[in-house]
Amino acid sequence: MTLAAYLRVWLASMRYSIVRNLMFRFDTLLWFLVEFAWMAVSIVLIEVIFGHIDSLAGWSKYEMLLLVGTSMVISRLFMGLFMSNLFEVGRNVRTGAFDFFLAQPGNPLFMVSTRKVELDGLMNVVLGIALVAFAASKLGLKPSFTGIVIYAIMILCGVAIHFGVCAILVSTAFWTIRSEGVETGYFTLFEFSRLPRSAFRGIASVVFVYLFPAVIVSNFPAKALISGPEAHLLLWLVGASMAWFWVAVLVFNWGLRRYTSASS
């Protein structure tokens, strides 16, 4: 399949998913409100913390709000486009329904991860952007067009890292058959994306900044808005996203060779 063909397949899947979501409007609205409640809890927590302190690891209240908003934009964009699809891999491998994706003419990982979109997740991306814009206005930030473009590129790199990590986790189903703890593990790992990089010291910095990029996913884009884009941080994030995506493809294809299908 050509790149244009893959794009047409993805757009068709998105149209189908949006129509399907609109058929169950209350369910979509309910999940949107649940995500909104989580964002509200995060904002209230920051308000409570900064009611007692002036800065957290060198970050002011509105800088922290911008960081949380950035983390939310990245995670909700990933959730809306890919997460629910990837989390179904374990069940499909266990039941043999994975055969459906192997029978399709496209790349299995692409077909598995783009079958549907979650409208409530994409709706919450707007809330995340609104929080970032609010915090930026309070900080008096006026990023240039180039700065906004670099911020957007960093956001996409963050989504790619989320995708890579999640794809690696769900690919363990090819060996273990069951992967019930994958969802919990994924959310636990990326909880650190809402914390400032400067808060990590010693072994924690090595693990969550350098080895596993949970912290830089949101910190680098937020820093690009607050302090202006820095070339080495952009290159670091681009390199990390490419590396994690490449490893995810490698692990998925490796596990794919172990799949015996429903007929075996």
pTM, two decimals, is: 0.88
User: Which tokens go with 210?
Assistant: 């350098």
Mean pLDDT, rounded, of the chain: 85
* DSSP secondary structure of 116-176: ---HHHHHHHHHHHHHHHHHHHHTT----HHHHHHHHHHHHHHHHHHHHHHHHHHHTHHHH
CA dihedral for 155, 244, 184, 189, sign (positive or negative): negative
**pLDDT tens per residue across span 25-69:** 777 777 778 777 877 888 888 888 888 888 887 889 999 999 999
Residue 97 predicted with pLDDT over 90: no
Please name which of 191, 185, 184, 167 lies closest in space to residue 241, comparing C-alpha atoms. Answer: 167
CB-based contacts of 67, cutoff 8 Å, min separation 6: 59, 194, 196, 218, 219, 222
Q: pLDDT-derived band of residue 188, with 50, 70 and 90 as boundaries?
A: confident
Residue 225 Ramachandran class (φ > 0 left, ψ -120 to 50 alpha, else beta): alpha
Give the pLDDT band of residue 162 (cuts 50, 70, 90). Answer: very high
- What confidence tier does 172 reach under pLDDT thresholds 50, 70, 90? confident
Average of per-residue pLDDT across 87-91: 85
Confidence band, pLDDT 50/70/90 cuts, at residue 178: low
Residue 92 φ/ψ, nearest 5 degrees: -65, -35
